[in-house]
């Protein structure tokens, strides 16, 4: 994996960790500051579970799942039949997001979340990275992997 790839991963992890640090410094746990009233707020919560708070209290399980996911992603990227910006971007985003939330789980035992759109669970920069990365991975698989299979 090249330097640009790892620079992107480290930059995203940095952005994730800095935004979480700012939230923890500026807001009290549970505090909410409206950005666009009735639409979007910054709300500081700490999530001990996975998405939507499911399986709260299973920190060890999430750490193991994250490490396995990271290993699979690195392996998949190394085995890809065709390299593309889609694959590089997807894996960089997923790896960065997974590591950003893994850092929280290892250091604090829970993940700091703060983007609150009132109609969706509260999330963070790492969650955005993972979600966008999975979307790009779907595009890559549909565009490149499906073309490589015999008819």
Give the helix/strand (H/E) hosting 114. strand 111-116
Q: Rounded CA gap, 116 and 54, in Å?
A: 18
* Annotated catalytic residue, options 88, 104, 113, 116: 113
Residue 145 near residue 68, CB atoms below 8 Å: no
Task: Provide φ and ψ at 113, rounded to 5°.
Answer: -125, 155
How far apart CA 64 and CA 85 sit, in angstroms, is: 28
127 assigned to active site: yes
Instruction: Respond yes or no: is residue 88 known to be catalytic.
Output: no
Q: What is the CA radius of gyration of the chain?
A: 17
What's the rounded Cα separation, in Å, for the pair 16 and 125?
A: 5
The catalytic position among 16, 104, 116, 127 is 127
Q: Which residues are catalytic?
A: 113, 127
């Amino acid at each position: 994996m090249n330097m640009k790839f790892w620079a992107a991963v480290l930059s995203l992890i940095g952005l994730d960790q800095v935004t979480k640090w700012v939230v923890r410094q500026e807001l009290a746990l549970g505090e909410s500051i409206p950005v666009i009233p009735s639409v979007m707020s910054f709300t500081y919560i700490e999530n001990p579970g996975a998405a939507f708070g499911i399986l709260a209290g299973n920190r060890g399980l999430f750490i193991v799942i994250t490490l396995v996911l990271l290993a699979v992603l690195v392996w998949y990227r190394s085995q890809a039949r065709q390299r593309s910006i889609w694959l590089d971007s997807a894996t960089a985003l997923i790896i960065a997001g997974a590591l950003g939330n893994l850092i929280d789980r290892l250091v604090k035992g829970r993940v700091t979340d703060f983007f609150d759109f009132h109609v969706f669970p509260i999330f963070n920069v790492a969650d955005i990275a993972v979600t966008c990365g999975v979307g790009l991975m779907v595009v890559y698989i549909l565009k490149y992997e499906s073309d490589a299979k015999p008819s």
